[in-house]
Each structure stands twice: as structure tokens, then as C-alpha cells.
Amino acid sequence: MEESQPRFDEALEILRRAWSQERFSFDGQFHTVKDVAVVPKPVQQPHPPLYVVGTSDHSFRMAGERGFRVATGGPVPWTVATHGIATYKHACAAHGHTPYVTFIRPVYFGDDQQHIRHELEGFFRNYLTFNASAMDAVVREDKKAEWHAKGFGFYASGVVEQFRTMTYD
């Protein structure tokens, strides 16, 4: 988790150079790119809108400060994201940016509920189990407290761990 922000910043810088320069190189702590050309260039200038997936206080605040759009949601209720969205909106206002929030929801259309359930339940369970597996490293209370202190309270809150026992219904 300590490396997530500097890795993000480096990747973002690589994207910005790729979108704005004919050829570029980058030599960072985590990534090295030598004499690369990326085509086609984006139609939007200076680049397409950037989205951050908002889960931690830090990611919501950083997105607002930098004028990024934020995406949040998934299988959790809207109320799980209300604090983060408020943090994002406050940071946008403080830095002169217009907030743009996308709340993601899994949706499947069909006419037969039994068929839909049969087709999707396994995929949905795999999705939840995979996301919960990230929490295997955060099992001790001292580790959870550390993650809370670093702004990763969403992960330390137990919400993601509940994915293991969440039912399809």
C-alpha cells in the first residue's frame, strides 16, 4: 500500500507523456520506458478524462485535488461511499474543479430470473471472493489500525471481507 501512490503517479506521468509527445522516455523508481511512440493520440485535449476508483479517503481526496473524475460502487450499498464522495466534492471545490461521480453497479438484463441466476451466480461469487482475497494481508487488528491511519479505512473496515460471506441474493 505504501507504494501505491508513487506507482500511480509514475503511471499517470507515462500516460500523459504518451498522449502529448510524439516520442518519449521515462526513467522512474518503478517504471522505465525508452524512446516510445504511442498512436493514435487521443481526440480529447490535453487527454481523455481521468477516472480514479474511489475506495480510500486518500483516493477520493487526491482525485478531487487533481480534477479527476471518480468511480465507486460495485456490490456495496451507496452509503458505503457517501463519506468518500463528500471528501471528493470538498477537495474539488477547494481546488476549483467540478465533481464528476460515477457509481458503478453490476447489471444483467434478461427475461428469465432462474436462467439469469444460473448463468451469473458463479461469476458473481468469483468476483466477490477475488476482491476479498486482497484482505488476507489485513487480518490483525494492529494492521487494520495502521491501514485506517494511512487513509485506507474502507479496506480495514471489514466491508470487503464481508464479500466472502455475501450471498448472491
Sequence ranges of the domains in the chain: 1-47, 49-105, 107-169
Nearest to 58 by CA among 141, 153, 126: 153
pLDDT tens by residue, 5-24: 899 999 999 999 999 999 99
Q: What is the pLDDT of residue 5?
A: 85
Write down the pLDDT at residue 141.
74
pLDDT for residue 139 is more than 70 = no
Number of neighbours of residue 128 by Cβ within 10 angstroms: 20
pLDDT tier at 127, thresholds 50, 70, 90:
confident
At 1, list the grid cell. 500500500
pLDDT of 158 higher than 70: no
Neighbour-count burial for 55-87, b at 16+ CB within 10 Å, e otherwise: bbbbbbbbbbeebbbbbbbbebeeebbeebbeb
pLDDT digits (tens, 9 = 90+) for 62-120: 999 999 999 998 777 788 889 999 999 999 999 999 999 999 887 888 899 899 888 88
Give the model confidence (pLDDT) of 51-72 as tens digits: 998 778 888 999 999 999 999 9
| pLDDT at res. 151 | 67
pLDDT at residue number 119: 87
Task: Give the pLDDT score at 17.
Answer: 95
Evaluate if residue 152 carries a pLDDT over 90.
Answer: no
Average pLDDT over residues 129-151: 72
- Per-residue confidence (pLDDT) for residue 15, from 0 to 100: 94
Average pLDDT over residues 131-135: 72
| Higher pLDDT among residues 55 and 151, named by residue | 55
